Amino acid sequence: MIEDNFRHKGLRKKLVKEIAEKGIRSAQVLSAVEEVPRHIFFESSFLEFAYEDKPFPIGFGQTISQPYTVAFQSELLQVEKGMKVLEIGTGSGYQACILSHMGAKVFSIERHRSLYLRSKENIRDLGYRAKCFYGDGFEGLPTFAPFDRIIVTAAAPFVPEKLLEQLKPGGIMVIPVEAGGYQIMHSYHKQVDGSFETHTHGQFRFVPMLANKDNNKT
């Protein structure tokens, strides 16, 4: 049973105020952060950290992204209801729930089998319909392509060509690209002629995007 009480709701309101003060403007994004319970992605002993604007370990060397970062990427995506959105790096499943709450049809890939299994369950328990896949995000999801939007939530060593290919003309991909110990957030806007307009949006820090599935080892 998921408990989401007045205290949690109050903490979320505070968090929304905090990320709005840091520059998040989209009402759609702010209302998703206000509605999606982030604490269910935390083990009970760490609940008090769920509504701080910080990343937090979720096991296997991975983290649930900082709420501000989740909101920032979600805002850059300019999601509209019904859009097909591909996420690389399901992690906890929190970002997938935020995008689902915004009305996106989410497809999310995770290379860690244990995280894939756990996030799938959390997403389902919250009643969201994001589809989860255990696989390698560098490959994208050719079977379900093309996508209106693609969001990469791990530090990409380069911009994967296959992901750019799986974007619809008029589509947007948001991806943190490695720049030597930190990443620069990029957005790629695919034009009707297949070319790209790119923008950069400052420095962020993510865990690395690694090739291949973990095969239950790493």
Among 40, 110, 132, 150, binds ligand SAH (CB under 6 A): 110
Q: For residues 138 and 188, which CB has a smaller minimum distance to ligand SAH in the complex?
A: 138
At 124, list the tokens: 């389902």
Contacts of 71 (CB under 8 A, 6+ apart): 19, 24, 26, 29, 30, 33, 98
Kindly state whether residue 137 participates in binding ligand SAH, applying the rule CB under 6 A. Answer: yes
Among 138, 147, 188, 204, binds ligand SAH (CB under 6 A): 138
Compute the least distance from the CB of residue 176 to ligand SAH, in Å: 10
CA gyration radius for the chain?
16
Tell me whether residue 65 is one of the annotated catalytic residues: yes
Among 24, 33, 37, 63, binds ligand SAH (CB under 6 A): 63
Compute the least distance from the CB of residue 34 to ligand SAH, in Å: 17
Kindly state whether residue 94 participates in binding ligand SAH, applying the rule CB under 6 A. Answer: yes
Binding site for ligand SAH (CB under 6 A): 62-65, 88-89, 91-92, 94-95, 109-112, 115, 136-138, 153-154, 207, 209-210
Q: Report, as residue numbers or ranges, the catalytic residues.
A: 65
